[in-house]
Structure 1
Amino acid sequence: MKLDWDKLREATKGQMPEKRWKHTLGVVETAISLANRFGGNAEKAELAALLHDYSKAWQTDRMERIIREEGLSEELLYFDKELWHAHVGAWAVEKEHGIDDPEVLDAIRYHTSGRVGMTLLDRIVCLADYIEPGRDFPGVNKIRKLAEHQLEEALTAGFDSTISLLLEKGKRILPLTVMARNDLIRLRKEQNKGG
């Protein structure tokens, strides 16, 4: 399927306020850079990054209805609403724009939570979302510095930051995020043995 990039950009921009669109453009730029740095597919990284927050600005009742009616992971409903848009967005871009590349859809679906066995594209999009130029949170510069040379270490630091924040706020933590973090640590140990 040939992509109409202009149409996709316009449709995505139309889903969100200007501030979120600026964030999206920052994630696109960062994802392409990370893909080039770490040997990923830059076109897929650009596509997944462009669409990663497609449904972020949707009303929560609309997202909840889609999660329930379309058979998405209902476990999400027991955790922070900030997680919902990733799964709903993957569903929406497939239905509305015919995006059918499972790797791109998974990168969108897991960009907030991570997962065990994250693909290179998953890791690139998730990290790009953490470190795009508009992001400003305690520790982001440390994560950006790590991302210059070590993708998995930088993403682990990103998950650590999220988990710490959720603990601080007394919020529930999606087990998948903890599992994703632990899996990245396993992967780093294996890489260090091999290298």
Structure 2
Amino acid sequence: MNCIDMQEKLRHSLDNEHRYIHSLGVSETAVQLAKRLGASLPKAKIAGLLHDCAREFPVSALLDEARKRNIPIDFIDNYQPILLHAALGAALAKEKYSIDDPEILDAIRLHTTGKENMTLLDKIIYLADMIEPHRQYDGIDEFRKFAESADIDSVMIAAFDRSLSFVIKKGQMIHPQTILARNYLLAQRIDHEK
């Protein structure tokens, strides 16, 4: 399936136009980041486009849809099923869009929580989701500028800090993968400075 066909299929399956526009923005931002960082442009484009493809399901259906596909559901997922849209999105990318590239599927799977030792594509999709042009939150303009100029791992640490702060302010549970991902990057930095 070519990218234009994927876009049309995605447009018809998502719950609203805003989510589709967000997906296009993430795809475009991912391509820009991939150009700057030397990553695969086609993989960045596809992973960015499909990162939220499971948002076609209402939050109330995510647990059931994940169970149907034998997607592991952890303690946090039971309380915050919205996080499952990432793993479910990877499954749908394979099922509905014939994506079989493990790097693309992992980048989709990890775009909400991250993990230790993320690939460059994983980092690009995580960041593109945070800074795409339609995303608005306090400090976004400064963060976009930082993301465009700083080294990727420094930007990722700042991104995890923002994500953790947001989750704490909302009174939600923190996924342990996010903490592990952040700590991994901090350990890399500390080891490098020795």
Normalising by structure 1, report the TM-score.
0.91
Identical pairs, percent: 38
Q: Distance in 2 between matches of 1:188 and 1:33?
A: 25
For residue 18 of structure 1, what is the aligned residue in structure 2? 17
For residue 173 of structure 2, what is the aligned residue in structure 1? 172
Q: In terms of mean alpha carbon deviation, does 149-158 or 24-33 score higher?
A: 149-158
Write out per-residue CA displacement over residues 3-61 of structure 1, whole angstroms, 9 at most, x where no aligned residue. 42221111111122111111111111110000000111111000100100101131234
For residue 148 of structure 1, what is the aligned residue in structure 2? 148
Distance 1:155 1:89, change over 3 A: same
Q: Distance in 2 between matches of 1:192 and 1:134?
A: 37
Write out per-residue CA displacement over residues 84-119 of structure 1, whole angstroms, 9 at most, x where no aligned residue. 111111001101222110000000000111011100
Name the aligned partner's letter for residue 176 of structure 2. P
For residue 95 of structure 2, what is the aligned residue in structure 1? 95
SS, match of residue 118 in structure 1: coil
Name the aligned partner's letter for residue 104 of structure 1. I
Aligned length: 191
For residue 4 of structure 2, what is the aligned residue in structure 1? 6
Are the equivalent residues in 1 in contact too, given 2:54–2:86 (CA < 8 A)?
yes
RMSD across aligned positions (CA): 1.6
1:119 matches 2:119? yes
1:78 matches 2:78? yes
Gapped regions of structure 1 (runs ≥ 5): none
Q: Distance in 2 between matches of 1:63 and 1:78?
A: 10
For residue 37 of structure 1, what is the aligned residue in structure 2? 36
For residue 184 of structure 2, what is the aligned residue in structure 1? 183
For residue 157 of structure 1, what is the aligned residue in structure 2? 158
For residue 46 of structure 1, what is the aligned residue in structure 2? 45
Normalising by structure 2, report the TM-score.
0.91
Q: Distance in 1 between matches of 2:22 and 2:122?
A: 18
Quote how far apart the aligned CAs of 1:162 are.
1.3
Quote how far apart the aligned CAs of 1:189 are.
4.0
Gapped regions of structure 2 (runs ≥ 5): none
Quote how far apart the aligned CAs of 1:180 are.
0.9
Quote how far apart the aligned CAs of 1:63 are.
1.9
Q: Distance in 2 between matches of 1:140 and 1:120?
A: 22
